[in-house]
């Protein structure tokens, strides 16, 4: 087996690096660019950001109120951000901590409802894909959280107990022993796993492209290459001079509502520098594997697969028979900077290749076809928010901490409900109106995040030596960061 950087071999690299993501290259490149904002405009709802959150919000707004005038302003192109770069886990996993959401007015019941609605979201996205003829390579094969060390095994067992306390039964999540896991997929060193059926594998760029087209068909105008430089509050629901405003170099959009859906890029907007931390996540994808390799690995059910390390990996088997695998890499760039077109550090490519080779030895000789990265939005308390202030007309949704592919559908639907003003089961969810404090100023922010990941990497290393206990280093990290469990 080739080991990155060992035995005098050159550091492993990818054939392509950046270009936003492999998912776009697999579609034949970036989509044709839509026009920029032609000039100042007045509308009912202006959405800032053309990722899943912005597009789902627009989609459900037009479903509920077809005559509403809705525009989307996108800095680059629809799907340029995390929505076109992610691991393709349409997962019902909760973005944040149950205990923390339960501190809200809805208490435990509201959290149970959020869990239930997130599970339903996987089918809702599949339903819209069918209704709108979106081919997103969607296969609902479930999710496997694999343990590859005794400490990881103890953790998934504890997690299962926690799930049971929060009302999840055998049909929602079940424990698989090593043999049962191996009948699904052969993960080297796999000691057991948690299996949840409520997850689907998707091709992110296909989903976001199809969704943007569906949104346009419903009458929404998407303006691309139109960065919003400032968002200003207005008076309640008033369109025109008193409306909220999204300012751009092409002119301002004045609207009854301006909804921010900028996730990992939020820090670039004035007044938002410390609202959401742009956490980096990186991915590699292999060339298509041989039939013999797939015979050895299995994975016929197309489950999404992650391990249970502190610096965890996530993976999918793509429609054309590759393994796409992701992990943290460089966790955070100083002063909330973001990557350049998804370019990834060679050391991250080598580290992810090492993970691939360790967990899937049958893929050890596969070339790495592409590497890329992107940013996801992390609030200070690691819990997502959907919010609308009727007094100013300003709203937002996001902060999914890396679990936003399905959650953005539910959050966008909720934000649309808040705008149309109809109380629905979604508007009572505990993330509605949830507030987190802001992140620390630099250099504390950079030092804290890098220190945290140094602790997590050291904890993973210690646990790989065979201890059954979670390393105390990880617990120190959790305490410093406030990461909830």
Ligand X SMILES: Cc1cc2nc3c(=O)[nH]c(=O)nc-3n(C[C@H](O)[C@H](O)[C@H](O)COP(=O)(O)OP(=O)(O)OC[C@H]3O[C@@H](n4cnc5c(N)ncnc54)[C@H](O)[C@@H]3O)c2cc1C
Element (H, E) at 177: strand 174-177
- Which of 12, 37, 45, 50 touches ligand X (CB under 6 A)? 50
Min dist CB 429 to ligand X, Å, is 17
In the bound complex, what is the minimum distance in angstroms from residue 475's beta carbon to ligand X? 26
Residues 6+ away with beta carbon under 8 Å from 92: 115, 118, 119, 121, 122, 196, 198, 199, 406
The number of helices, as runs of H, and strands, as runs of E, in the chain is 12, 19
Site residue total, ligand X (CB under 6 A): 44
128 touching ligand X, by CB under 6 A: no
Interface residue with ligand X, options 17, 43, 83, 286 (CB under 6 A)? 83
Non-local (6+) Cβ contacts of 273 within 8 A are 267, 336
Which tokens in the block code for residue 54?
Answer: 């912005």
Task: Return the residue of 17, 43, 53, 348 that touches ligand X, per CB under 6 A.
Answer: 53
Instruction: Tell me the three state secondary structure of residue 333.
Output: strand
Per DSSP (E only), the strands in 74-148 are 89-91, 143-147
Q: Is 54 in the site for ligand X (CB under 6 A)?
A: yes
- When CB distances to ligand X are compared, the closest residue is 404
Choose one: 159-167, 250-258, 372-380, 444-452; the region binding ligand X (CB under 6 A). 372-380
Whole-angstrom distance, CA of residue 403 vs CA of residue 411: 12
Q: Based on the shown chain and the rule CB under 6 A, indicate whether residue 385 belongs to the binding site for ligand X.
A: no
Q: How far is the CB of 179 from ligand X (least distance, A)?
A: 27
SS3 content of the chain, % helix, strand, coil (to 5): 35, 20, 45
Closest distance of CB 123 from ligand X, Å: 16
Does 228 bind ligand X (CB under 6 A)? Our answer is yes
Q: Taking CB under 6 A as the criterion, which residues in 286-325 touch ligand X? A: 314
- Contact between 377 and 278 under an 8 Å Cβ cutoff? The reply is yes
- Which residues 399-418 are close enough to bind ligand X by CB under 6 A? 400, 402-405, 408
Most distant pair of Cα atoms in the chain: their distance: 68
Give the residue with the Cβ less far from ligand X, 23 or 101.
23
Q: Which residues, at least 6 apart from 416, have a Cβ–Cβ distance to it below 8 Å?
A: 56, 57, 59, 60, 61, 63, 64
Q: Which is nearer to ligand X, 326 or 393 (CB)?
A: 326
Q: Please, what is the minimum distance in Å from the beta carbon of residue 483 to ligand X?
A: 16
Q: Which one of 75-83, 155-163, 234-242, 250-258 is the stretch in contact with ligand X (CB under 6 A)? A: 75-83
Stretch that binds ligand X, among 50-58, 63-71, 429-437, 450-458 (CB under 6 A): 50-58
Identify which of residues 82 and 449 has a Cβ nearer to ligand X in the complex.
82
**Both tokens assigned to 391:** 């007094």
User: CB of 394: closest distance to ligand X in angstroms?
Assistant: 14
CB atoms within 10 A of CB 367: 9
d(CA 244, CA 234) in angstroms, rounded, equals: 4
- Is 141 among the residues that bind ligand X (CB under 6 A)? no
The residues facing 47 across adjacent strands are 72, 259
Q: Is 80 in the site for ligand X (CB under 6 A)?
A: yes
Q: Does 370 interact with ligand X (rule: CB under 6 A)? A: no
Q: Whole-number minimum distance, CB 468 to ligand X, in Å?
A: 29
For residue 286, what is the enclosing H or E element? strand 277-286
Torsion sign (Cα): 23, 356, 6, 458: positive
Q: How far is the CB of 40 from ligand X (least distance, A)?
A: 16
- Integer angstrom CA distances of residue 410 from 52, 60, 167: 10, 10, 20
Binding string, 236-275, against ligand X, x = CB under 6 A? -------------------------xxxxx---x------
- Angle (CA) 293-295-300 rounded to 5° is 110
* Residues near ligand X (CB under 6 A): 48-54, 73-76, 80-83, 85-89, 91, 227-228, 261-265, 269, 281, 283, 314, 326, 373-376, 398, 400, 402-405, 408
């Amino acid at each position: 087996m080739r080991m990155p950087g060992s035995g005098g071999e050159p550091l492993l690299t990818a054939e392509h690096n950046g270009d936003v993501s492999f998912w776009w290259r697999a579609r034949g490149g970036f989509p044709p660019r839509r026009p920029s904002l032609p000039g100042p405009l007045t509308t009912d709802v202006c959405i800032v950001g053309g990722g899943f959150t912005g597009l789902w919000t627009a989609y459900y707004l037009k479903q509920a109120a077809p005559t509403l005038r809705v525009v989307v302003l996108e800095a680059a192109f629809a799907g340029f951000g995390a929505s076109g770069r992610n691991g393709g886990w349409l997962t019902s996993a909760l973005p944040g901590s149950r205990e923390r959401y339960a501190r809200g007015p809805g208490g435990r019941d509201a959290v149970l409802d959020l869990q239930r609605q997130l599970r339903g979201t996987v089918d809702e996205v599949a339903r819209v894909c069918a209704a709108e003829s979106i081919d997103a390579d969607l296969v609902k094969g479930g999710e496997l959280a694999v343990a590859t060390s005794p400490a990881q095994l103890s953790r998934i067992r504890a997690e299962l107990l926690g799930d049971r306390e929060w009302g999840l039964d055998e049909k929602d999540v079940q424990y698989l022993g090593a043999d049962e896991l191996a009948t699904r997929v052969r993960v080297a060193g796999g000691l057991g796993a948690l299996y949840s059926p409520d997850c689907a594998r998707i091709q992110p760029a296909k989903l976001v492209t199809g969704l943007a087209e569906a949104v346009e068909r419903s009458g929404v105008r998407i303006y691309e290459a139109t960065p919003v430089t400032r968002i200003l509050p207005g008076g309640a629901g008033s369109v025109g001079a008193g409306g909220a405003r999204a300012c751009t170099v092409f002119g301002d959009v004045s609207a009854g509502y301006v909804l921010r859906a900028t996730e990992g890029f939020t820090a670039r907007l004035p007044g938002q520098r410390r609202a959401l931390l742009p956490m980096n996540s990186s991915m590699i994808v292999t060339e298509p594997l041989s039939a013999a390799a797939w015979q050895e690995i299995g994975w016929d059910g197309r489950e999404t697969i992650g391990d249970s390390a502190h610096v965890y990996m996530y993976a999918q088997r793509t429609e054309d028979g590759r393994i796409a695998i992701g992990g943290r890499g460089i966790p955070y760039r100083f002063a909330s900077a973001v990557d350049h077109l998804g370019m990834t550090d060679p050391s991250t490519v080598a580290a992810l290749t090492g993970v691939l080779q360790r967990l899937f030895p049958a893929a050890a000789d596969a070339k790495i076809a592409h590497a890329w990265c992107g940013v996801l939005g992390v609030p200070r308390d690691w819990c997502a928010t959907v919010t609308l202030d009727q007094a100013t007309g300003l709203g937002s949704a996001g902060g999914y901490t890396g679990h936003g592919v399905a959650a953005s559908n539910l959050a966008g639907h909720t934000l649309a409900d808040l705008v149309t003003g109809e109380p629905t089961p979604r508007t009572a969810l505990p993330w509605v109106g949830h507030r987190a404090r802001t992140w620390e100023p630099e250099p504390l922010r950079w030092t804290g995040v890098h220190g945290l990941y140094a602790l997590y990497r050291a904890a993973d290393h210690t646990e790989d030596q065979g201890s059954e206990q979670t390393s105390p280093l990880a617990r120190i990290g959790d305490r410093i960061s406030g990461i909830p469990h």
